[in-house]
Amino acid sequence: MSQAIILYCRGGFEKECAAEIEKFATLQQCFGYARTKDGRAFVEFHPYNSEDAEKLYLSLELNDFVFARHWFLAHSYLELEESDRLADIIPAAAQIGPCQSMRLEFADSNDGKQMSSFCKKFERPLKKALNGQNLIIEDANAPNLQLFFISGTRLWIGLDLPGKGNPNHNGILRLRQPSKAPSRSTLKLDEAFQTMLSEQESERYVQSGMRAVDLGACPGGWTYQLVRRSMMVEAVDNGPMQEELMMSGQVKHWRADGFKYQPMHGNNQWLVCDMVEKPVRVTYLALNWFEQRWCRYAIFNLKLPMKKRFFEVEKDLDILREGLSNISDDFILRARHLYHDREEVTVFVAINNYRKK
């Protein structure tokens, strides 16, 4: 029987991740408690009724979370004999049943990263032992066997159901800095496009020839990603833009305050914004663009305060949710603390249909 839910997060954001899973658990009447420590980069949620772990896991999607990078349904906590780790893992895996593959992972923390070489070495003998017991099968609908190592002798073992978690190892999409990009901030927007939109949404919302506005664009890190996706961009910033980016012929630079700027074209599809401002101010800025119908889609960052970060995110998302519901009956609102984010979260909004005025 499932004992817990394990959630990965960035180190230092354990309290926010814990508050989030406890909020969802309360809404689902799956009462329990979250356990973590600062810097561990993961959270354990323990329901008082063990059956509630599966109920809660199945009722939510990863997109419902802001601070969780990946999550899985934990069946057992194991303490292994260093001389024969397989002796305890194989019986636990047999209780779970056949899986299509296995995931050997660890926390994105100083302690967790020490497990990287161990997991690489241990993967081969573990796979051989699982195959010997017919616990690895060719079935795309079967779950993944999840092993989350806290140390070389302590781990959680459980299930990662298809489509429920983050397919990237350790829940992290690692991207290389493009050599021609003007700043490292470009990776934030690249990750957002790749992880916050489904494949079908990307095909619909991100198309060659679309018009976009980048508020606070200097020196062009986010504009670079729009140009890569063959969009025409209004880059708005009083500072200078990278010359090479301007030579693309896809960018028009407007020296203006992003909070006062009004778009030159009324048929913009995209708004992006990565300005260092109070999150509530950026929230109302983005909402105004939708209320004015200056765009249909947006990705923007909210810089978080030092304290009450979870409260701030909840407040800003509530403002957006209420405001968007006044202008559309069909919209998407998602927020995620991305790997390339730091003290900030990234928000994605899509208006599928505006309500008639």
Q: Say yes or no: 278 and 333 in one domain.
A: yes
Is residue 180 assigned to a domain? no
Q: Say yes or no: 197 and 96 in one domain.
A: no
Q: Are 348 and 196 in contact (CB under 8 A)?
A: yes
Instruction: Find the domain containing 191 and state its range.
Output: 185-353
23 catalytically annotated: no
Phi, psi of 284 (to 5 degrees): -70, -30
Omega within 30 of 0 (cis) for the link into 219: yes
Q: Say yes or no: 196 and 85 in one domain.
A: no
Q: Say yes or no: 200 and 285 in one domain.
A: yes
Q: Say yes or no: 145 and 193 in one domain.
A: no
Q: Say yes or no: 152 and 292 in one domain.
A: no
Is residue 177 assigned to a domain? no
Is residue 157 assigned to a domain? yes
Q: Say yes or no: 11 and 138 in one domain.
A: yes
**Out of 37, 303, 308, 315, which one is annotated catalytic?**
303
* Final residue of a structural domain among 171, 204, 236: 171
Q: Are 146 and 160 in contact (CB under 8 A)?
A: yes
In terms of DSSP bridges, do strands 101-106 and 32-35 run parallel, antiparallel, or are they unpaired?
Answer: unpaired
Q: Say yes or no: 160 and 215 in one domain.
A: no
Which residues lie across from 6 on neighbouring strands? 44, 72
Is residue 216 assigned to a domain? yes
pLDDT in tens, the chain (357 residues): 569 999 999 999 999 999 999 999 999 999 999 999 999 999 999 999 989 999 999 999 999 999 999 999 999 999 999 999 999 999 999 999 999 999 999 999 998 989 999 999 999 999 999 999 999 999 999 999 999 999 999 999 999 999 999 999 999 999 999 999 999 999 999 999 999 999 999 999 999 999 999 999 999 999 999 999 999 999 999 999 999 999 999 999 999 999 999 998 778 999 999 999 999 999 999 999 999 999 999 999 999 999 999 999 999 999 999 999 999 999 999 999 999 999 999 999 999 999 987
CATH number at residue 231: 3.40.50.150
- For residue 98, which amino acid is it? P
Is residue 212 assigned to a domain? yes
Is residue 274 assigned to a domain? yes
* Final residue of a structural domain among 144, 171, 198: 171
Is residue 130 assigned to a domain? yes
Which residues of 134-284 form beta strands (DSSP E)? 144-151, 154-160, 211-215, 232-236, 251-254, 270-273
Q: Are 296 and 328 in contact (CB under 8 A)?
A: no
Query: Does pTM top 0.85 for this prediction?
Result: yes
* Final residue of a structural domain among 171, 205, 222: 171
| Rounded Cα gap, residues 303 and 297, in angstroms | 20
- For residue 54, which amino acid is it? E
Q: What angle do CA 117, 122, 124 make, to 5 degrees?
A: 120
Is residue 179 assigned to a domain? no
Q: Say yes or no: 142 and 191 in one domain.
A: no
Q: How many domains does the chain have?
A: 2
Q: Say yes or no: 102 and 191 in one domain.
A: no
Q: Say yes or no: 43 and 143 in one domain.
A: yes
CATH number at residue 47: 3.30.70.2810
Q: Say yes or no: 155 and 190 in one domain.
A: no
